[in-house]
Amino acid sequence: MKHTQLKPFPKDFFWGASTSAYQVEGAWNEDGKGPSVIDIREKYPEGTTDYKVASDHYHRYQEDVKLMAEMGFKAYRFSIAWTRIIPNGTGEVNPKGLEFYNNLINELIKYKIEPIVTMYHFDLPYALQARGGWSNRETIDAFVEYAKVLFENYGDRVKYWLTINEQNMMIMHGKALGTLDPNLEDPDRELYQQNHHMLVAQAKAMDVCHQMLPQALIGPAPNISYIYPASSKPEDILAAQNFNSIRNWLYLDAAVYGRYNKTAWSFLEEKGYVPTIVEGDMEILKNAKPDFIAFNYYTSKTVEASNGEGNDKNNTGDQEIVIGEAGVYKGHNNPNLPKNEFGWEIDPVGFRTTLREVYDRYQLPIIITENGLGAFDKIEEDGSVRDPYRIDYLKKHLEQMQLAITDGVEVFGYCPWSAIDLISTHQGAKKRYGFIFVEREEFDLKELRRIPKQSFYWYKEVIANNGENL
């Protein structure tokens, strides 16, 4: 639809950006922090660093928040490391861990930046994984116990809560993300059992949040991308519906309506992945209601029909590169879209489509909690960092977001990835996303100096004008 007039971004729009604890903080074993599944990962992809120091945000959060304030941030979406708060996953609470996030939250509030907290972003306590992780129902209780500690300690200042970051990607791409338990015997089936437990944990946490903090708002934070069919062939349309259900709607239907998406369920039945659901679970899912939907969007996906002969799966997939499922769908390169340096397609119009689709299906306000471009940024001879490609990516996505708002979609915030350079989930320190450059290399930590990039100044202008004249 072409609009003759665009609707403006809402008045109190949350302009901000995102990070996650293990990718930005460093201080991996300081002040009583316990190990997470990320810390004990035995191998990192070749040529990439670990997360021990990352961007050293743990020690430099004040400087970082000051820069965010200089950009004019209205919100900052970050995650809390479960293992800083409860080092063993359950039991004793670590006062030093509590203190760090208390300080961070207070620092944000000092600059009138709204803290938006992700409760769990890939870094499950290792102590829980050693007892089966999400395969073990006790992890549901551990998550609820942890949630209560967060609500008790930060609920007076934190109004926006996100339960689990990209649960769908942990299920579908856990290997690339480093969250997959290497000891799982039958990972394909077991992952959908884990998924079920996470859905129950999320529902319980949303419910507890509403009971303990009536003023607070809470929602899920999956990675959602609309799936296109490779052609108008009816079989390709079906394949796109299949993948939309398996990748996207399975997670949101459960979070919002408390039910399993039928197409996704028939996929689970066909593959033998049906989880064990105990009495009361579906009740719990039904009773919990999110207040909004947060989602991460990087690009659309395209699939064609899979003829079911052989296995369409391969191991090159990551969060944004489609693999396949024999007889269900098969990843397809979209010839209409350019790709970034890491092979991810770039599709701003798909962002509008995805926003419209999510709003149509769920009718809940939306906040974008990730969107962005990974690139090999460099310091120029004059000391500046120029990233016009990132500005171009973000600008085009914001334009499409405004079109979606004009289409009627209720969007209340935009927190692209990432506020500051941090370590990629599986492609190291050289794959950068931030508005703020962190001077370090893959294995040479250098001074970890902060340098505002060209995109920093551009975004500052966008925020100052509330997105007018993009």
374 contacts ligand BGP (rule: CB under 6 A): yes
Restricted to residues 430-449, the positions that interact with ligand BGP (CB under 6 A) are: 431
426 binds ligand BGP (CB under 6 A): yes
Place of tokens 């901000």: 16
Rank residues 51 and 192 by Cβ distance to ligand BGP and give the closer one. 51
What is the residue type of 209? C
Q: Among candidates 125, 61, 53, which has minimal Cα distance to 94? A: 125
| Residue 467: CB minimum distance to ligand BGP, A | 23
- For the bound state, the minimum distance from the C-beta of residue 224 to ligand BGP, rounded and expressed in Å, comes to 11
370 is catalytic: yes
Burial class (CB in 10 A: 0-12, 13-18, 19+), 58: buried
Nearest-angstrom CA–CA distance, 229 and 86:
45
Per the DSSP assignment, residues forming a β-bridge with 295 are 368
Contact residue for ligand BGP among 179, 194, 425, 454 (CB under 6 A): 425
Helix (H), strand (E) at residue 16: strand 14-18
Looking at beta carbons only, is 305 or 423 nearer to ligand BGP?
423
8 A C-beta contact, residue 114 and residue 74: yes
Choose which of 49, 129, 165, 371 interacts with ligand BGP (CB under 6 A).
165
| Interface residue with ligand BGP, options 93, 427, 460, 470 (CB under 6 A) | 427
| Gap between the Cα atoms of 124 and 465, Å rounded | 39
Identify the residue among 153, 296, 400, 455 touching ligand BGP (CB under 6 A).
296
Q: Least distance (Å) from ligand BGP to the CB of residue 376? A: 12
Task: Give which of 47, 20, 57, 104 is closest to 438, Cα–Cα.
Answer: 57
Minimal distance, residue 221 CB to ligand BGP, in Å: 8
Residue listed under structure tokens 């879209």: 337
Q: Which is nearer to ligand BGP, 25 or 236 (CB)?
A: 25
Q: What would the x/- binding string for ligand BGP be over residues 306 to 345, using CB under 6 A?
A: -------------x--------------------------
Site membership for ligand BGP, residue 25 (CB under 6 A): no
189 belongs to the binding site for ligand BGP (CB under 6 A): no
Active site (annotated) includes residue 166: yes
175 counts as binding ligand BGP under rule CB under 6 A: no
Structure tokens at 315: 């191991």
- Among the listed ranges 164-172, 201-209, 253-261, 358-366, the one in contact with ligand BGP (CB under 6 A) is 164-172
Instruction: Answer for the pair 339, 346: CB distance below 8 angstroms, yes or no.
Output: yes
Residue nearest to ligand BGP (CB): 424
Residue 223 touches ligand BGP, criterion: CB under 6 A: yes
Token code pair at residue 319: 């969060």
From 6-14, 54-62, 156-164, 423-431, span contacting ligand BGP (CB under 6 A): 423-431
Closest-CA residue to 251 (of 279, 225, 230): 225
Of 166, 190, 304, 320, which one is the catalytic site residue?
166
166 binds ligand BGP (CB under 6 A): yes
195 part of the interface to ligand BGP, by CB under 6 A: no
Please state, in angstroms and rounded to a whole number, the distance separating the CA atoms of residues 441 and 47. 11
Could you check whether the bond before residue 418 is cis, i.e. omega within 30 degrees of 0? yes
Least distance in angstroms from the C-beta of 187 to ligand BGP: 19
The pair of three-digit structure tokens given for residue 227, joined into one six-digit string: 């799936």
| Three-state secondary structure of 281-294 | HHHHHHHCCCCCEE
Closest CB 246 distance from ligand BGP, rounded Å: 17
Q: Are 394 and 455 in contact (CB under 8 A)?
A: yes
> Which residue lies nearer to ligand BGP by CB, 220 or 374?
374
Angstrom distance (rounded) from CA 223 to CA 244: 12
Closest to 273 (Cα-Cα) out of 178, 387, 187, 376: 187
For ligand BGP, the binding residue among 27, 124, 127, 169 (CB under 6 A) is 169
Q: Is residue 370 a contact residue for ligand BGP (CB under 6 A)?
A: yes
| Spatial CA neighbour of 187 closest among 168, 172, 169 | 172
403 makes contact with ligand BGP (CB under 6 A): no
List of residues contacting ligand BGP (CB under 6 A): 20, 23, 165-166, 169, 223, 296, 319, 370, 374, 417, 424-427, 431
Catalytic residues: 166, 370
